[in-house]
């Protein structure tokens, strides 16, 4: 089982922003953004060579400020968005921008890993997604499987739909939605649904989850007290259009059918502190990753609410080969939901977990101390799903 060993990469700065390079479907590549107050911040392009189990990196400068969120264009490998903090007039403002990597980033540092660390190149600013009228930006969402021309930014209590024009050098707000209610309402996170022709958005604010129709920018559902405390993250099931996962500060992960928002379909209570990230596997939606500030990453097999609820049924012939196969008796029943594995390679809060866009069995997690860990789905489970 040597191949299942985790691969660890350490950044010299603290970090909480991680994304897979969505437009890259051949190489296993992740982008990490750092959070440093004293030094120029960086984006680390992490290439994982799965044949040799080694990591190659390129470092780009992000001088605009500490990075709180990062998103990769689904259409252009070199384009990304960041949400970052900067200080202006002695107060901290959260901004967002679209950037392009230098043209030779792919040919960068594989031969001489030390060069880019000493002389990193700088990202090219394409355009700002700042609208001073609409406050601080929490995150930017790319249109799933889109042409890289549409993004949504969540700023305070506004959802802004932007059209990127002139090769992304210009951003125009095409429509907006506003969160109405008492007090200072703020979006904490959101997810653009890949279903319904990409016309729906889910957002989290405080303990509530809301669905929006992007054609009319109006609210279509609301789960009032989805979690006992703040909702931290959301993700849509890629294969079941009405299913949504959420996680929050009540240490729980919940799965919802948005057609009936009274009760969650399923609740997981495996973490002992706030859950910061929940991610469905892009191909096999029973595999769900959750990351928490209990320093653990948990891989769950939520087969009962997946698009293949009966899992894999074994033929009788397979069982007649002798007593060595007595373990396989269990496989005759439909698979039950279970925790597949708990990963404890981190020593600090795990703020982000992402599946690779190139290899469905591989994922990365990032903790605040700058440790990036790459892991694989256990081989036994992989074959049970495939065969």
Strands of the sheet containing 137-142, edge to edge, are 137-142, 150-155, 158-165, 170-178
| pLDDT value at 322 more than 70 | no
Least confident of 171-185, 230-244, 285-299: 171-185
Least confident of 13-17, 164-168, 200-204: 164-168
272: Cα separation from own chain's centroid? 21
**Residue 54: Cβ-neighbour burial (10 angstroms; 0-12, 13-18, 19+):** exposed
Q: What's the whole-number mean pLDDT along residues 139-167?
A: 92
Distance CA 151, CA 142 (A): 5
Closest CA to 161 of 142, 171, 175: 175
Within 8 A by CB and 6+ apart from 114, the residues are none
Q: Are 289 and 301 in contact (CB under 8 A)?
A: no
pLDDT for the residue 104: 80
Neighbours of 272 (CB within 10 A): 12
Q: For the segment 167-182, what is each residue's pLDDT rounded down to a tens digit?
A: 888 899 999 999 988 8
Q: For the segment 342-359, what is each residue's pLDDT rounded down to a tens digit?
A: 999 999 999 999 999 999
Distance CA 263, CA 259 (A): 11
Share the mean pLDDT of the chain. Answer: 88
pLDDT for the residue 107: 58
pLDDT for the residue 118: 65
Distance CA 272, CA 290 (A): 12
Distance CA 291, CA 262 (A): 26
| pLDDT value at 25 more than 70 | yes
Q: Which helix H or strand E contains 62, and what residues bound it?
A: strand 54-62
| pLDDT value at 332 more than 60 | no
Closest CA to 208 of 192, 191, 230, 193: 230
Distance CA 162, CA 375 (A): 35
Q: Which helix H or strand E contains 170, and what residues bound it?
A: strand 170-178
Distance CA 290, CA 295 (A): 11
Least confident of 78-87, 192-201, 326-335, 366-375: 326-335
Token pair, residue 248, equals 């929050």
Q: For the segment 28-71, what is each residue's pLDDT rounded down to a tens digit?
A: 999 999 999 888 999 999 999 989 999 999 999 999 999 999 99
Does 333 or 153 have the greater pLDDT score? Answer: 153
| pLDDT value at 318 more than 80 | no
Distance CA 16, CA 23 (A): 21
Long-range contacts of 168-175 (CB under 8 A, 24+ apart): 168/76, 168/79, 168/98, 168/100, 168/126, 168/127, 169/126, 169/127, 170/127, 171/98, 171/127, 171/128, 171/129, 173/131, 175/214, 175/217
Distance CA 304, CA 300 (A): 11
Q: For the segment 118-139, what is each residue's pLDDT rounded down to a tens digit?
A: 678 999 999 999 766 777 899 9
Neighbours of 147 (CB within 10 A): 11
Alpha-carbon distances of 305 from 109, 191, 244, 264, rounded to whole Å: 43, 20, 11, 11
- What are the structural domains of the chain? 7-108+119-307+334-386 (2.130.10.10)
pLDDT for the residue 309: 76
Summary count for the chain: helices (H), strands (E): 3, 29
Distance CA 273, CA 292 (A): 6
Within 8 A by CB and 6+ apart from 4, the residues are 375, 376, 378, 379
Closest CA to 102 of 149, 45, 29, 32: 45
């Amino acid at each position: 089982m040597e191949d299942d060993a985790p691969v660890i990469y350490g950044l010299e700065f603290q970090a909480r922003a991680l994304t897979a390079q969505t437009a890259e479907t051949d190489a296993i590549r992740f982008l990490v953004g750092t959070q440093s107050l004293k030094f120029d911040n960086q984006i680390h392009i992490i290439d994982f060579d799965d044949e040799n189990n080694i990591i190659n990196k390129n470092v780009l400068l992000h001088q605009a400020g500490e990075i709180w969120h990062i998103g990769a264009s689904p259409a252009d490998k070199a384009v990304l968005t960041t949400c970052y903090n900067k200080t202006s007039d002695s107060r901290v403002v959260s901004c967002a921008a679209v950037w392009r990597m230098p043209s030779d980033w792919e040919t960068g540092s594989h031969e001489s890993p030390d060069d880019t660390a000493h002389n990193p190149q700088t990202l090219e600013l394409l355009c700002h997604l700042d609208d001073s009228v609409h406050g601080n930006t929490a995150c930017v969402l790319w249109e799933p499987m889109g042409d890289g021309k549409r993004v949504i930014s969540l700023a305070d209590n506004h959802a802004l739909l932007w059209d990127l024009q002139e090769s992304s050098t210009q951003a125009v707000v095409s429509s907006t939605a506003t969160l109405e209610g008492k007090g200072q309402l703020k979006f904490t996170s959101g997810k653009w649904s890949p279903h319904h022709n990409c016309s729906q958005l889910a957002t989290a604010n405080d303990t509530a989850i809301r669905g929006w129709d992007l054609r009319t920018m109006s609210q279509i559902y609301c789960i009032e007290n989805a979690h006992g405390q703040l909702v931290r993250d959301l993700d849509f099931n890629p294969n079941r259009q009405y299913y949504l996962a959420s996680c929050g500060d009540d240490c729980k992960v919940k799965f919802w059918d948005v057609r009936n928002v009274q009760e969650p379909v399923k609740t997981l209570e495996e973490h002992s502190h706030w859950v910061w990230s929940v991610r469905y596997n892009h191909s096999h939606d029973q595999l769900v990753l959750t990351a928490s500030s209990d320093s653990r990453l948990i891989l769950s097999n939520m087969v009962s609410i997946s698009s293949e609820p009966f899992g894999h049924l074994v033929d009788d012939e397979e069982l007649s080969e002798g007593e060595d196969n007595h373990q396989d008796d269990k496989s005759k029943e439909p698979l039950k939901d279970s925790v597949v594995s708990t990963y404890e390679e981190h020593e600090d809060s795990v703020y982000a977990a992402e599946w690779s866009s190139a290899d469905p069995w591989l994922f990365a997690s990032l903790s605040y101390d700058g440790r990036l860990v790459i892991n694989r789905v256990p081989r036994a489970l992989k074959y049970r799903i495939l065969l």
